[in-house]
Chains A and B, each alone.
Chain A
Amino acid sequence: MIRKINFFNVEKVYRGDGVQTSALNENNLSFDIGEFTSIIGPSGSGKSTLLSLLGTLDQPTNGKITYDGEEILKKRKNKIADFRFEEIGFIFQQFHLLPTLTAIENVLTPLFSRKVTYNKQQRAKEVLAQVGLEDKVNSLPSQLSGGQQQRVAIARAIVHKPSWLLADEPTGNLDSETGELIFELLKQLNQEEGCGVIFVTHDATLASKANRIITMKDGSVQSDQVGVSL
């Protein structure tokens, strides 16, 4: 279980065909497990970039990221994948469920060909119950509403018991009421499971409900407020 993630002068530059886009400028940040962090900022300010670096989905151009002091990204791809499986759960704005799989099958995908100590089917049903979808176990994504789909995605993100949950605008495609529901779910997971939750949002009201709010602009952290009451 990773307790602390540190960014040391992390810089991310996208190079594409002669054009350089600096997505993140020298950032020094640290995240602790158990925190409930929201990231807010205008479009293109580097929120998704930050999140993907946090979740080992990409490599920084400069600087280093340590996970309890270890530089995971220096490892081989399969090892990084193993790390991701053990520690990180991802939730996307577009849900990214596999359209050909039922809810439970989608939830089971991260466990695919992985050895785990628990019963996979049981665990999948358990997490689906946790997100309130015990009656939609065998539904295909196309038969579910957006909120339900995102809940399946959350179930998928937590089925392998990660210590960190990273969500990129999880409520972005939902109406505010459903968004609220999803937010509550994340908060609940943070409190009950002790996961570190980092979520990106455009919704200032939702963001303000986090106990740490990071505001980004042009690839830099503009403000980092901790200790805001939930």
Chain B
Amino acid sequence: MIRFIWQNWWRKKERLILLLIGAFIISAGLTYLIGLSDSNRGTIVDSLQNQWSASYDIVVRPEGSRSVTEEKELLEPNYLSGLNGGISVDQYEAIKEISGIEVAAPIAVIGYADYETDFGSVELEEEGIYRKTQTVSVNNGIGIEEEISRYYFPYNVWDILDKGSEYGVGAPNFDLSVHNLSLLAGIDPEQEAKLIGLDEAILDRGSSRFFKDTDGYYFNENKGYHEFPIIVNNHAFVDKTVDITYERLDLPINDQNADELMEEVKNSGGQDYLHTVDGSEHHRSTYTGEEAFHAFISEMTGVDWETGKVIEHEEQSEDEPDEAQTQAQQEGVTGIVFQSSQLNYEEIGSPYANRWPYSYQLEPVQNGEDVMGAYANQESFREPGLVAETYTELPRIKPDWIGFYDSSQLTISQDPTSELPMETYRPASAELVMDGDGQPVNPPQQLKPNGDPYSFLTDPPGMLTTIEAAEELIGHDEPISAIRVKVTGVTDMGEESQEILEQVASEIENQTGLITDITLGSSPQLALTYVPEVNDQEALGWLQQPWVNIGSSISIFRETKMSFTSILASVMIVAVVYVWSSGIVSLLSRRKEFAVLLSIGWRPSQISKLLLFESIIVGLFVALTSWMMLGFVYMNSTSSISIDRFVMTGLFGFLIYLLGAVVPIWMTKRIRPYEAIQSGEISKTSKRMFRTRGLLTMRGATLLGNGSVVYCPLFRLHYRLHY
């Protein structure tokens, strides 16, 4: 039969050429659409997946924690650390019970522990009026924030007892100490280990280890402090240096003229006058944030940072305790003072909407007189707050160090542009792209946290404890700020995963009333934030940050898939219709030939078989051509194609021709052998196929070139008009 078909094609070359051109066009179309554009679609999905990985699939937050930015489905990258509880342990337990949840890792942001690192005290020899200058220089990545404080005191020369501040001097201060803040948060060790491998990130130093079940919380009734286990981030320090100098002022003061001279100082303006007086340096110490942190760790844990060895207690007790050290410090007791809080955003028009479609401005908080400490009457980006109602209620803590962790060893990406916010372990990324005047900053500069709990960018927690301890420290039963959930069976982004996640998310919402967001299908969205001037300091400018666009990837994925499938479907339809119509046309021209074959004894089934064979041959040709074209394209490019897709491309071509054979084969059933005996080109049966019932079919019949048919409906029409 092949030979018969081949002769039929080969000896009618112009028809063969047309057939081949058609087949070639279809192969090329298929190769392009399935083979190549499919790889584009693959690239879209791959890049969405590779560039944006998620350690967690769903994030659960307390009700009412949505910010204005979420109206646009945008989540700011600092969103987790600003939350102060709101989820109860019971709710957390309920979520853990929901089927399909593999990991439910809670985080309870407790607050900023205030700690002072003591580097001993200065020894002064000469009597006189001294100036203690403490310069704290913080490198925020963009510049150095310098904070200078000066303090004056008389040494061995003038009795300050009963003297007021108008003299500009105070009690002698010999402290060489550095003040720091560190965020404390509670986690569930077991879940955190499962989520990001926290247990694997514990440093091997001395007795450093991960949490154990036996690590419990304890409240020391006698001394009134909380004792609880902590693991400490080995990188929890701000890039700062603290410089302390002691200068002896060039004032000719001695026991005799002291009173007289101090009266003069008072009359000259007190402290303001002393600022102008030169001095000679008698002592200078410089400490880095890192040194301060390590010293603090040693103090708190009794473990030497470098060696991890326990510092012998006898040694310490033999030394005379420093005068300046308070009782609490000696015992390693400190307090949690500041509560973390969220940033307030206001949407503004973007200066470059093409580049940054989303743009926000920070709304600073104007603090009143009653706000604590340094924040009184000042502006800040976050609302300052105490973790307790009053100072006296602030929790006193004695953290029980059990280990160090290195957040760079976690199974999360350290690049904040490629992973969902993991601010528990890594600060959010923020790049200064324009200064306060809107002038571009080239190259953009990376902003670093400055250690201030109420500044724009906050530090990740420096200390982690358990949820149990968090509940006790916070003092209410809703300590958890957020729960990061990982769902079983969800590996890559796609329709199936999305469905599972939606189901789990709604289950969580139904059972707990908390709000959920599916983070798997999210992607980074660069957003611009304007950081305005506060406290008469120059405005920082415009910062670019990778925000989380909730559900954007999945929608891109869906659109791509949708449009791709519809394109594919329409191409398939067009191709099949093309093959059908060319098959029908070719059948019409071969009708007589088939009638002759029937009249000389061919079975109708043989003719069907002939057509089927022809289609199979052309289909194979199309498949082979597509495969060759694909192979050629991929040999000459670096991209790869999956076997499935490769096979599918050819198979589609084959299928199109096979499907295309259906109609002609069905039509051959209507060929009557006696057509062979009739002369004339248009056979009568083709006319019979279109029963002239209406104008439309009448036109069809006319198209077939049979004028006689037209007569009948016209006649009928005429007939009807008469009645």
Contacts and interface: CB of A to CB of B under 8 A. Distances in A.
B676 A81 contact: no
Nearest to A108: B4
Given A52-B677, A100-B11, A19 B712 contact: yes
Interface residues of A, number: 41
B593 A98 contact: yes
Nearest to B678: A48
Interface string B585-610: 00000001100111111111110010
Given A48-B678, A51-B677, A57-B676, A156 B600 contact: yes
Contact of A92 (B12, B677, B708, B712): B677
Contacts of B609: 113
Contacts of B715: 18
B602 A112 contact: yes
B687 interface: yes
B661 to A, nearest CB: 18
Interface string A77-112: 110011011101110111010111100010001101
B603 A82 contact: yes
B679 A160 contact: no
Given A52-B674, A58-B672, A110 B601 contact: yes
A85 B7 contact: no
Nearest to B701: A17
B194 interface: no
A90 B684 CA distance: 21
B11 to A, nearest CB: 4
Given A57-B672, A58-B672, A58-B673, A16 B684 contact: yes
Contacts of B377: none
Nearest to B685: A16
Nearest to B9: A100
Nearest to A17: B712
Contacts of A17: 687, 691-692, 708-709, 712
A98 B692 CA distance: 33
A51 B676 CA distance: 12
B601 A84 contact: yes
Nearest to A19: B712
Given A52-B674, A96-B592, A100-B12, A90 B600 contact: yes
Interface in A169-197: none
Interface in B688-710: 688, 691-692, 708-709
A230 to B, nearest CB: 26
B1 interface: yes
B597 A109 contact: yes
A33 B1 CA distance: 34
Interface in B1-53: 1, 4, 7-8, 10-12
Contacts of A160: 601
Nearest to B11: A100
A11 interface: no
Contacts of A109: 597, 600, 602
A35 interface: no
A57 B600 contact: no
Interface string A121-165: 000000000000000000010000000000000001100100000
A58 B606 CA distance: 19
Contact of A81 (B598, B677, B688, B709): B598
Nearest to A113: B606
Contact of B679 (A52, A55, A93, A157): A93
Contacts of B716: 18
A13 to B, nearest CB: 13
B721 to A, nearest CB: 17
A84 B11 contact: no
Contact of A84 (B599, B605, B684, B688): B599
A92 B673 CA distance: 13
Residue of B7, B673, B691 contacting most chain A CB atoms (<10 Å): B673
A88 B677 contact: no
Contacts of B601: 81-82, 84-86, 88, 110, 114, 160
Given A52-B674, A57-B672, A140 B11 contact: yes
Contact of B599 (A14, A57, A93): A57
Given A16-B688, A88-B601, A100-B12, A57 B7 contact: no
A58 B691 CA distance: 21
A82 B601 CA distance: 6
A84 B672 CA distance: 14
A81 B592 contact: no
A22 B567 CA distance: 54
Contacts of A16: 684, 687-688
Contacts of B692: 17
B420 to A, nearest CB: 67
A113 B1 contact: yes
Contacts of A56: 673
A89 B599 CA distance: 8
Nearest to A78: B603
B392 to A, nearest CB: 105
Contacts of B687: 16-17
Nearest to B607: A81
Nearest to B673: A57
Contacts of B7: 100-101, 105
A93 B709 CA distance: 27
Nearest to A97: B596
A141 B329 CA distance: 115
A81 B8 contact: no
A98 B674 CA distance: 17
Q: Enumerate the 6 nearest inter-chain pairs by beta-carbon distance, A residue then B residue, closest first.
A: A85-B601, A57-B674, A100-B11, A58-B674, A52-B674, A81-B603
13 contacts: A17-B687, A17-B712, A18-B712, A18-B716, A52-B673, A57-B674, A57-B677, A88-B601, A90-B677, A93-B679, A101-B4, A101-B7, A112-B4
Given A17-B708, A88-B601, 9 more contacts: A14-B684, A18-B712, A57-B672, A57-B673, A77-B603, A92-B677, A93-B679, A96-B596, A101-B11
